[in-house]
Chains A and B, each alone.
Chain A
Amino acid sequence: MVTARIPAAMICLAAAALFTQAWPLERWSVQGPGEGFFPLLLSAALAVLGLVQLVAPGPPTGPVPSPADRAAAAAAVDAVAPRDGRAFAIYVAATLAFALLFTRLGLLLSVLLFMIVTVRVAERRAWGPALLAGVVADLALYAVFGRLLGVPLPQGVLENALRAAGLLR
């Protein structure tokens, strides 16, 4: 029950934050509702919904699947193992690092490193396949976005090296 109330508490906090941010905006003028009108309405709605869930989080809801559906689902869908926090943390760190660094490192190096880290470290595959996955991803993304669609991609160390070697235009 405590776990179920955590999101509700977060919703109430979000409502309060939204109210705080929306209050200084113009709520109503001679011309009618201002830019603060709608967000204030939403903050009120969010507060009500948060309080409702805080007071009565309710049981998990949803219709009961039929025995045949449950059997089919169990047979068809992959069995879920205990949660792998390590792999999850690596994926989160890798995507955040990519988002923050790829414009400085250049696209090719960023993609290569991302694939190596996720395939080798998170997915626990061998170095060879991880490196190959990185190279294939680099080639595919550059071919499609860089050459075919002509999208300007972030340049970096690897691009400059390949250009110097005459492998990239």
Chain B
Amino acid sequence: MIDGLLEGFRVSLSWINLVHCFLGVTIGTFVGVLPGLGPAATIALLLPFTYRLDVTTAIIFLAGIYYGVSYGGTITSVLMKIPGEAATVVTCFDGHEMAKRGRAGPALGIAAFGSFIAGTLGVVGLMLLAPPLANLALLFGPVEYTALMLAGMTLVTYLTTNALAKALTMAVAGLVLGTVGLDPISGRERFTFGLEVLSDGINIGPLAMGLFGLSEVLVLAEQGVGRADRIRPPRGWRNLLPNRADWRRSGGPIARGSVLGFLIGVLPGGGAVMASFLSYAMERRLSRHPEQFGHGAIEGVAGPESANNAGTAGAFIPLLTLGLPANVITALLLGAFLIHGVTPGPQILQTHPGVFWGVVTSMYVGNVLLLILNVPLIGLFVRVLDMPKAYLSPAIAVACLVGVYTVGANAADVLVMVICGLAGYLLRRFDFDLGPLMLAYVLGPLLERSLRQALIIADGDPAIFLTRPVSALFVAVAILILLTGLWQGRRRVAVPAA
């Protein structure tokens, strides 16, 4: 392994690979800042440019885009409450609140450093645990996946400060939105009302940007002329980075998020998105000050951002060791491998060790480059907050409107986003949290497919969820989380009127 590692660094630190890694993370960061265009679309657009490159260089370049986009999405989540991609939705909750309190720098800083630490730990995990974890992932069938998704869904109780019934309503609403479009098993259309635009379902881009970005613009518009004209950007270089107290509070979340994200990233399906939500819920549960979550708790940024980046590393395990993509992005990377005549799988360490170790070590190099690229630019990024809201709000709105169009050149996506924006505004006015809806929307299709497959396997007998040990464990966890949530709900006191 040491020899492989050294060979890998020799490959990834060659000039050509270093340059392409830097290009990848730069393009990725830039794209991540843009609302609408996500990592999958970017990688698909740039895939033809890699045809003439060596396979290792090509994968290093595309992988750089993958984690570059993640950090770029964090920037817009913190500064403008527009999630750059689904995995950074959670960062909107507390990251933007920190920005409103003049702490955008520490939010971006802890996200950058946390991502770097998590990415590094993820790469170490990838080196040491790739084969056994890949085999473990193979043990997960539809029954286990259903139970895992259910356990994940019950964590909505920790995503919100509101009544359990409201949180569960939002979760069910998210599941309903996930059923629009083609049925995952039979392929028949559901709830499309004859509209071709809905036959592919509701895309996550318009949904996330509408619910979070556009609804925020509408809330700000309603606040009218009495609001202060600017969000205060941090002053002085000391306020641009996390201080000692921030690090003390973030150490635990970063460590926990790294482990959680890495393990979840190995599983096909939710990956980084689910990891970020789970990390947020976990940190809120473990925090001594859970009331601060949603109001600028740095743990709410450190944990999810770390989980997000570690999940990216974890997603490479099934890709490299089994040739199985964990999500759309790794599916595109698999395509890149195949175009260059390399088939990832158990034999890759024997047939192409330089490719395997080169890609693994380039992830560490890419994380270093991300840190070098973005931390000095934090001061520049937070300048955006200097713009008066009278100009910032329209700019955010028009960026969302145009950005969502550019994903698929589909005008209907823009209308869907506007409708989601209005819905998001109304939900916020009636005190419904949007976090559970997003989590459920992402998990919903996988949950439904797994549930139906599990029932087909069991001839309709739901007892299978209790007879399989892994599934039974997750079901027990889900029940425990729900009961704890119910019990805590009875103990919550009303917030006094201002």
Contact = CB atoms under 8 A, between A and B. Distances in A.
Interface of A: 6-7, 11, 14, 18, 21, 25-26, 28, 31-35, 37-39, 42, 45-46, 49-50, 52-53, 58-66, 69, 72-73, 76-85, 87-88, 90-92, 94-96, 98-100, 102-103, 107, 111, 114-115, 118-119, 122-125, 129, 133, 137, 141, 144-145, 149, 151-154
B473 interface: no
A124 B393 CA distance: 13
Nearest to A117: B394
A150 B355 CA distance: 31
Contacts of A46: 169, 172-173, 176
Contact of A38 (B290, B415, B451): B451
A84 B495 contact: no
Contacts of B395: 115, 133, 137
B295 interface: yes
B226 A63 contact: no
A95 B397 contact: yes
Nearest to B210: A95
B250 interface: no
A92 B406 contact: no
B129 interface: no
Interface in B84-102: 100-102
Contacts of B162: 61-62
Contact of A60 (B191, B226, B414, B431): B431
A61 B176 CA distance: 25
B244 interface: no
Interface in B415-473: 415, 417-418, 421-422, 430-432, 448, 451-452, 455-456, 459-460
Given A78-B227, A79-B226, A79-B227, A65 B295 contact: yes
Interface in B146-191: 161-163, 165-166, 168-169, 172-173, 175-176, 179, 183, 185-186, 188, 190-191
Given A38-B451, A39-B179, A73-B295, A84 B37 contact: no
By size class, the interface of chain B is 35 or more
Nearest to B491: A63
28 contacts: A7-B432, A14-B173, A32-B459, A37-B452, A38-B175, A38-B179, A42-B172, A45-B168, A49-B172, A60-B431, A60-B495, A61-B163, A61-B495, A62-B492, A78-B228, A87-B224, A88-B218, A91-B393, A94-B397, A96-B418, A98-B401, A98-B414, A114-B398, A118-B393, A119-B394, A137-B398, A149-B406, A151-B406
A53 B169 CA distance: 10
A42 B176 contact: yes
Contacts of B391: 119, 123, 125, 129, 133
B456 A31 contact: yes
Most chain B CB within a 10 A radius of its CB, from A7, A85, A153: A7
Contact of B291 (A53, A69, A98, A151): A69
Contacts of A84: 221-226
Interface of B: 34, 37, 45, 100-102, 161-163, 165-166, 168-169, 172-173, 175-176, 179, 183, 185-186, 188, 190-191, 214, 217-218, 221-228, 231-232, 290-292, 295, 390-391, 393-395, 397-399, 401-403, 405-406, 409, 411, 414-415, 417-418, 421-422, 430-432, 448, 451-452, 455-456, 459-460, 489, 492-496
Given A65-B291, A137-B398, A49 B168 contact: yes
Contacts of A99: 401, 411, 414-415, 417-418
Contacts of B451: 33, 38
B29 to A, nearest CB: 14
Nearest to A85: B222
B169 A11 contact: yes
Contact of B402 (A59, A111, A125): A111
8 A-B pairs closest in CB distance: A81-B226, A84-B224, A32-B456, A123-B390, A35-B183, A78-B228, A63-B291, A118-B394
B228 A79 contact: yes
A125 B390 contact: yes
A18 B394 contact: no
Contacts of A34: 186
Contacts of A32: 452, 455-456, 459-460
Contact of B101 (A6, A77, A114, A123): A77
